Structure 1
Amino acid sequence: MQLDKTRIAIRERELLEIYDLALIVMRVYWWKIMQALAITAIPLTLINGGLLWAMRADLVVNETAGMFLVYMVMAIFLEAPLAGLPITVLLGDALFHDKPNWRRMCTGLWPVMPRIFWVIFILRGILPGMLLLLWASFDEAFVAFTFLLLLCGYAAVLRTWRPYIGEILVLEKNPIFAKQKGTITVGLRSSSLHNPNFGDLLIRGMASAICIPLACSIVLNIFGVRGFVFGRWNWDDLFMFVWFQIGLWLVVAFMTVVRFLCYLDLRIRREGWEVELVLRAEASRMKEIAG
């Protein structure tokens, strides 16, 4: 591994350049990205289907089917930070290696799991969202829907304010609590990275709304292909529980790549990361020569 010879050129990029680069990264690493996505997306798809299974009997009613789709969108929106973590780990490894290796990627991740559970699964609203989703599948008074809507709003604000917490957890691996004086915790690292760039983060958070038409396009294309190829023009169980979620997970994968590239760009702008990599690479070479 040579720190100054990365697979992605380390330099500042405008937002449109980042989206363009994300498409290139998806094309080059599409199979690895799909593998990484499957690690979390498959179990989450099964969990979502189980949580909303009580609505299955009434999906023949258009209003119920519509609410089912809305609940599924809310569920995947809340679960997106968790589902994207394997992709983030993959891209972090692919940045410095020609061939990403799962064994190398997973090394050292076990101690991070409790932090992921607390920060991503609990504080980012995934577990509360799952409980509300189960409640919503039996609730006809829209009380659970209201709470889910508020929870999604909370998650959206949090992701705009602190979007790169996942990268901090799995790539930088900062602890949540400081056991020694001077330790950089997740909170301190997040504040130093995010606070000075709130305006830029807000604009990029607003730009991420592109995922809405993208999701609509992918889902409608899946529906159209099913109709033209298999003659299935109805909202059957297979589409509602499987294909609809697959379409949304593909959007999650792409937006995770975009967020990772935005994280790199922020570190370059804020911390001069490209200079740090060159200095670390030279220090490593000097150490090898001296040793």
Structure 2
Amino acid sequence: MQLDKTRIAIRERELLEIYDLALIVMRVYWWKIIQALAITAIPLTIINAAMLWAMRPDLVINETAGMFLVYMVMAIFLQAPLAGLPITVLLGDALFHEKPNWRRMCAGLWAVVPRIIWVVFILRGILPGMLLLWWASYDEYYTSFSVLILLCIYAAFMRTWRPYIGEILVLEKNPIFAKQKGTITVGLRSSSLHNPNFGDLLIRGMASAICIPLACSIVLNIFGIRVFVFGLWNWDDSFMFFWFPLGLWLVVAFMTVVRFLCYLDLRIRREGWEVELVLRAEASRMKEIAG
């Protein structure tokens, strides 16, 4: 591994360049990205289906089917940061290696699992959202729906204010609590990375709304293919429980790639990361020559 010879050129990029580069990354690593997404998306899809299974007998009613789709969108929106972590790990390895290796990627990740559970799964609202999703399948008065909306607003605010917490956890692997004086914790690292750039993060958070028309386009194309190829005009179980979530998860994969590239761009702008990589590469070469 040579730190100054990365698979993605380390330089500052404008937002449109980042989205363009994300499409290229998706094209080059599409199979690995699908594999990484499947690690979390398949279990989460099964859990979501189980949580909403009580609504299945009434899905023939358009109003119930519509609410089912809305609940599924909310669930995947809340779960997106967790589902995208394997893709983040993959891209972090692919940045410095021509061929990503799962064993190398997973080495040392076990220690950060408790941090992921606490920071991402609980504090980012995924666990409360899943409990509310289960409640929603039995709630006739839509009280859970109102709470889910508030939870989604909270999650959207946190992702705008602290969007790169997943990258900090799985790539930089900072601890949550400092055991020694001077240790850079997740909180300190997050503050130093995010606080000076809140305006830029806000603009990029607003730009991420492009995922809405993108999701609509993918889902409608999936529905259209079912209509023209198989003649299926109705919203059957396969569409509700498989094809619809699949379309949303593909958007999650793309936006995870975008967020990773935005994270790299922020480190370059804020910390001069490209200079750090060159210096670390030269230090490594000097050590090899001296040793």
TM-score range, shorter chain: over 0.9
| CA deviation map 1:15-72 (0-9, x unaligned) | 0000000000000000000000000000000000000000000000000000000000
Q: CA deviation at 1:158?
A: 0.2
1:268 match: 268
Aligned counterparts of 1:130 and 1:97: Cα–Cα separation in 2: 36
**1:55 aligned residue:** 55
Q: Give the Cα–Cα distance (whole angstroms) in 2 for the partners of residues 140 and 244 of structure 1.
A: 24
2:173 equivalent in structure 1:
173
Structure 2 unaligned runs (5+)?
A: none
Counterpart residue type for residue 128 of structure 1:
P
Q: Distance in 2 between matches of 1:135 and 1:31?
A: 36
- How far apart are residue 105 of structure 1 and its match? 0.0
Shift in Å at residue 207 of structure 1?
A: 0.1
- Aligned mates of 1:59, 1:288 — CA distance in 2: 65
Residues 134-183 of structure 1, C-alpha deviations (whole Å, 9 max, x = no match):
00000011100000000000000000000000000000000000000000
Give the aligned residue type for 2:35: Q
Q: Aligned equivalents of 1:8 and 1:91: distance in 2?
A: 10
> Root-mean-square deviation (CA), in Å?
0.2
Structure-2-length-normalised TM-score: 1.00
Deviations 1:186-213 (A, max 9, x none): 0000000000000000000000000000
Which whole-Å CA distance do the structure 2 matches of 1:185 and 1:157 have between them? 22
| 1:15 matches 2:15 | yes
Q: Distance in 2 between matches of 1:8 and 1:226?
A: 37
Supply the distance in 1 between the matched residues of 2:229 and 2:49 (Cα, whole angstroms): 25
CA distance in 1, matches of 2:9, 2:140: 53
In structure 1, the residue matched to 2:101 is 101
Find the aligned partners of 2:3 and 2:34 in 1 and give their Cα distance: 26
The amino acid across from 1:54 in the alignment is A
Corresponding position of 1:92: 92
Which residue identity lines up with residue 277 of structure 1 in the other structure? L
Number of aligned residue pairs: give it.
291
Name segments (4+ residues, structure 1) moved above 2 Å: none
Structure-2 separation of matches of 1:228 and 1:142: 36
Q: What does residue 152 of structure 2 align with?
A: 152
Residue 77 of structure 1 is matched in structure 2 by 77
2:284 — aligned with what? Answer: 284
Amino acid corresponding to residue 75 of structure 1 in structure 2: A
CA distance in 2, matches of 1:214, 1:206: 15
- For residues 156 and 225 of structure 2, the distance between their equivalents in structure 1, rounded to whole angstroms, comes to 32
Letter of the 2:95 counterpart:
L
Mapped partners of 2:26, 2:142: distance in 1: 39
Which whole-Å CA distance do the structure 2 matches of 1:32 and 1:198 have between them? 32
Paired residue for 2:33?
A: 33
- CA positional deviation for 1:185: 0.1
Could you say what secondary structure the match of 1:163 adopts? coil
Deviation sequence 1:229-267 (CA, Å, 0-9, x none): 011111000000000000000000000000000000000
Letter in 2 for 1:176: I
What is the letter of the counterpart of residue 112 of structure 2? Answer: V
Q: Answer yes or no: is 1:135 the counterpart of 2:135.
A: yes
- 3-state SS in 2 of match to 1:138: coil
| Structure 1 residue ranges without an equivalent (≥5) | none
Output the TM-score relative to the length of structure 1.
1.00
Q: How does 1:106-255 map to 2 (within 5 A)?
A: 106-255=106-255
| Distance (Å, rounded) in 2 between the aligned partners of 1:45 and 1:242 | 8
Q: Which amino acid aligns with 1:77?
A: F
Counterpart residue type for residue 50 of structure 1: A
Distance in 1, matches of 2:75 and 2:90, equals 24
Give the AA of the match of 1:14: E
Structure 2 CA distance for aligned equivalents of residues 102 and 160 of structure 1:
30
Q: Quote the Cα distance in structure 2 between the aligned partners of 1:205 and 1:150.
A: 18
SS of the residue corresponding to residue 137 of structure 2 reads helix
SS in 2 for 1:8: coil
Mapped partners of 2:27, 2:136: distance in 1: 38
